[in-house]
Amino acid sequence: MIKTENLKKIYNHDFEAVKQMNLNVGKGDIYGFLGPNGAGKTTTIRMLTGLIEPTEGRVILNGLDVRSEKQEVKKHIGVLPESNGYYEWMTGKEYLLFFSSLYGITKKKRAERTDELLEMVDLQEKANIRIHQYSRGMRQRLGIARTLIHEPRIIFLDEPTLGLDPQGQKDIEKILLHLNKEKGVTIFITSHLLKDIERICIA
Ligand SMILES: Nc1ncnc2c1ncn2[C@@H]1O[C@H](COP(=O)(O)OP(=O)(O)OP(=O)(O)O)[C@@H](O)[C@H]1O
C-alpha cells in the first residue's frame, strides 16, 4: 500500500535528512514511524504524500507513483500535518462542510458525511461551536475528521497526539483503531514516543 524505493532527501545540497529509505507498508496496517526530534519524520511524510520531492528514490501509494500521478494519489490519501491550520471563526461543522465542498462532494452528501464524521470523532455536541473555543484534543479530532472527508484508503498523521493529555491521547487512539479495524483504513503515524506507537500499533 505504501512503498518507497531508496528514498532520500538532501536539504541545501549538503544536509541528508533522510537516507536511502525502503519501506513496505501493507494494506490495512497501522505503521508507527518512530524517531526523536529532527530524525526526519515530517520530511518523510511530506515526501510520501507528494508535498515535497525526494532528492532520490520514489514513492508508490496504492500502486500509483506519487511524483507522476499526484492528482490521482490525492484521492486515495488523507493527511494531518503536525501543525494543522484551522479557520478559527468557523464552527466544526462549517469547517467540515467547507472541506467537503472543496472535494466536490454533492450538497446532499456533504451534510450526511459531515454528521457521520462528527459522530465518529465524538464532536457532535460541539459541532456548532466556533473552533477558537476548541481544546487541542478537539482540534486534533476535527483534523482527523477532515482527513477522512473523501474516504481515503490511507491516512498519514504527523504526531497527532503531541501535547495532548492522557485522555486526549486515548480518544485519538480509539478513533484510529476504529478506522483501522472497522473501516480497513491503512494508517501511517509518526511519534517521538515509543509507548504512543506501541499502544496504537500493537492493539
Ligand atoms: N526545509 C528545510 N530546509 C533545511 N533543512 C530542513 C528543512 N526541513 C527540515 N530540515 C531539517 O531536516 C531534519 C529533519 O527534520 P524533520 O522536520 O523532518 O524532523 P522530524 O523528525 O519531523 O522532527 P520533529 O519531531 O522535531 O518534528 C532536521 O535537522 C531539520 O532541521
Residue 185: which of 176, 197, 196 has the closest Cα? 176
Give the whole-angstrom CA distance, residue 57 versus residue 63: 15
Residue 15 CA: nearest ligand 1 atom is 5
Distance 32 CA to ligand 1 centre (A): 18
Does position 177 have pLDDT exceeding 80, yes or no?
yes
Q: What is the mean pLDDT of the chain?
A: 93
Distance 89 CA to ligand 1 centre (A): 31
Q: List phi, psi (to 5°) of 79.
A: -130, 130
Three cell numbers written together for 130: 466556533
Distance 40 CA to ligand 1 centre (A): 6
Cβ(35) – ligand 1 distance below 6 Å:
yes
Residue 200: its pLDDT value, please? 83
Q: Give the mean model confidence (pLDDT) for residues 174-196.
A: 92
Residue with the smallest CA separation from ligand 1 atom 31 is: 38
Work out whether strand 64-65 and strand 186-191 pair parallel, antiparallel, or are unpaired: unpaired
Three cell numbers written together for 50: 507528494
Provide the residue range defining the domain that includes 142: 2-201
List the beta bridge partners of residue 158: 190
Each residue of 70-96: pLDDT tens digit?
999 999 999 999 988 889 999 999 999
Q: Beta-carbon neighbour count of residue 184 at 10 Å? A: 10
Q: Give the mean model confidence (pLDDT) for residues 146-170.
A: 94
| Whole-Å CA distances, 9 to 35, 47, 63, 136, 157 | 16, 8, 22, 31, 20
Q: Beta-carbon neighbour count of residue 172 at 10 Å? A: 22
How would DSSP label each residue in 49-65?
TTSS--SEEEEEETTEE
Give the whole-angstrom CA distance, residue 176 versus residue 155: 10
Q: How many domains does the chain have?
A: 1
**CATH label of the domain that carries residue 163:** 3.40.50.300
- Asked which of 44-48, 81-85, 146-150, 172-176 is least confident by mean pLDDT, the reply is 81-85
Residue 74: its pLDDT value, please? 92
> Residue 57 — pLDDT band, cuts 50, 70, 90?
very high
Distance 37 CA to ligand 1 centre (A): 8
Residue 11 CA: nearest ligand 1 atom is 4
Does position 196 have pLDDT exceeding 90, yes or no?
no
pTM: 0.94
Pocket perturbation via mutation, ligand 1, pick of 11, 33, 34, 80 by most ligand atoms within 8 A of CB: 11
Contact 166, 196 (CB under 8 A): no
Pocket perturbation via mutation, ligand 1, pick of 8, 21, 41, 196 by most ligand atoms within 8 A of CB: 41
Give the whole-angstrom CA distance, residue 136 versus residue 122: 14
